Amino acid sequence: MTVPGQTIQADPAARAERAGARRSLPLLVLGAGADPASERGVDCPGELPPASDPGLVARAHAARSALGDRAFVLGHHYQRDEVIQFADVTGDSFKLAREAAARPGAEYIVFCGVHFMAESADILTSDAQQVVLPDLAAGCSMADMATYNQVEQCWEALEDLGIADEVIPVTYMNSSADIKAFTGRHGGTVCTSSNARKAVSWALGRGSKVLFLPDQHLGRNTAVLELGMSLDDCVVWDPHAPGDTGGLTAEQLNDATMILWRGHCSVHGRFSLDCVTDVRARIPGVTVIVHPECQHEVVLAADCIGSTEKIISTIEQAPPGSAWAVGTELNLVQRLAASNPDKTVAFLDKTVCYCSTMNRIDLPHLVWALESLADGRPVNQITVDDDTAAQARAALDQMLALG
């Protein structure tokens, strides 16, 4: 029997045996290769053109036009200006997943974004299409916060507790293909910041609890601010806590509606309450708009919340003369400021903060990837094995069906 207030200790021998059967994640030293089981690709083989080459823009245009309709270039809103100018379509992760799925004629999908997005594109496109990520080091620290082993261990603990049958996994797009496959296997759905509310509501129509992976902030903000739950309905599963139950008691897990994974975005997690207070003092009348990956207290202090697509449309539709402080990645905020000169658009933090992994895709890597494709030697192809892809696809298709 489990005593309320105590963490649950499942049979250690059985757990050790199961853990041994799972894959291990070796430590990677920078420059020592790519790890296909993780977001942490570190290597980019091949001869890159020097960043100082004054002909890079012309080379990118030449390679792009040589490829014509055989290639389709997707650009996430957080990409650098020098890269985004070559995107055939720009978008947030939801829009880009749909765009990838809607291009069956393109032999090559060049993904200017991060690894988990390219994996999703590979899952959503046909075997005849190749997805290329110009720099394999463009991973995502949030996605790395939920590894396959950790998530399997969590599920086993929920099974040991007898509550796994009530739990529907909802996994943020920002996760590895392995975690999406886990979600598909257990009847769950993927979500993005654009449709998290729909996804969590859908899940709660099928089970009494949601395991929300890997971004605790998106999960909490969705549950409390969009679906009217209380903070007490949410618990945080810490994969690094001692014991087998994420630092939670049986009572806490039994009582919770939302089991939030302890993951966060290193970029959006930096915005603090002080940033909001400071910007209100610096820019009188400013409206603060933040991404739902921000901490709950920051979102509460802001005026509006929105995915990257929603942030863009809100500012584009705002009246001339209005002032905005934006809590999301800096490349996007700078572009919003440039394309809305009739408004004041400021970065929410005083300190510069780009997403360093998004920024790995630069012009030399893009030129290298496009020229290699034009020469018939695809580089940095992202492939997801068939079993993982089939299970992950079930969860991605469920998300696309939610709209």
Question: Which residues lie near ligand SF4 (CB under 6 A)?
Answer: 78, 114, 140-142, 174, 265-267, 329, 355, 357-358
Instruction: Tell whether residue 216 is a contact of ligand 13P (CB under 6 A).
Output: no
Q: d(Cα 288, Cα 278) in Å, to the nearest integer? A: 11
Strand, coil or helix: what is 40?
Answer: coil
As a whole number of angstroms, the distance between CA 40 and CA 29 comes to: 10
Q: Give the integer Cα–Cα distance in Å for 269 and 253.
A: 25
What lies within 8 Å, CB to CB, of 364 at 6+ separation is 48, 49, 50, 51, 53, 56
Considering the complex, what minimum distance in angstroms separates the CB of residue 171 from ligand 13P? 13
| Token pair recorded at residue 88 | 């055939």
Alpha-helical regions (H) of 35-176: 56-67, 81-84, 93-101, 115-124, 148-161
Residue 141's binding partner, choosing from ligand SF4, ligand 13P, none, with beta-carbon cut-off 5 to 8 A by kind? Answer: ligand SF4
Query: Of residues 195, 221, 307, 372, which one binds ligand 13P by CB under 6 A?
Result: 307
Look at the alpha carbons of 295, 297, 298, 299 in this order and tell me if their dihedral is positive or negative.
positive
Q: Tell me which of ligand 13P, ligand SF4, none is bound by residue 149, counting a contact when its beta carbon lies within the kind-specific cut-off of 5 to 8 angstroms.
A: none
> Taking contact as CB under 6 A, which single stretch among the options 19-27, 58-66, 90-98, 222-230 is the one that binds ligand 13P?
90-98
**Among 7, 147, 189, 308, contact with ligand 13P (rule: CB under 6 A):** 308
**Three-state SS for 4?**
coil
Of residues 142, 402, 176, the one with CA closest to residue 266: 142
C-beta closer to ligand 13P: residue 120 or 252: 120
Nearer to ligand SF4, 93 or 129 (CB): 93
The item of ligand 13P, ligand SF4, none sharing an interface with residue 295, based on CB under 5 to 8 Å by kind, is: none
Note whether 90 binds ligand 13P by CB under 6 A: no
Among 79, 90, 93, 221, interactor with ligand 13P by CB under 6 A:
93
Is residue 174 a contact point for ligand 13P (CB under 6 A)? yes
Task: Give me the helix-helix angle, 386-402 and 115-124, nearest 10°.
Answer: 90
Q: Report if residue 144 touches ligand 13P, rule: CB under 6 A.
A: no
357 binds ligand 13P (CB under 6 A): no
135 binds ligand 13P (CB under 6 A): no
**3-state helix/strand/coil string of 240-256:** CCCCCCCCCEHHHHHHC
Please, which residue, 72 or 94, has the CB nearer to ligand 13P?
94
User: Interface with ligand 13P by CB under 6 A: which residues?
Assistant: 92-94, 174, 192-193, 265, 293, 307-308
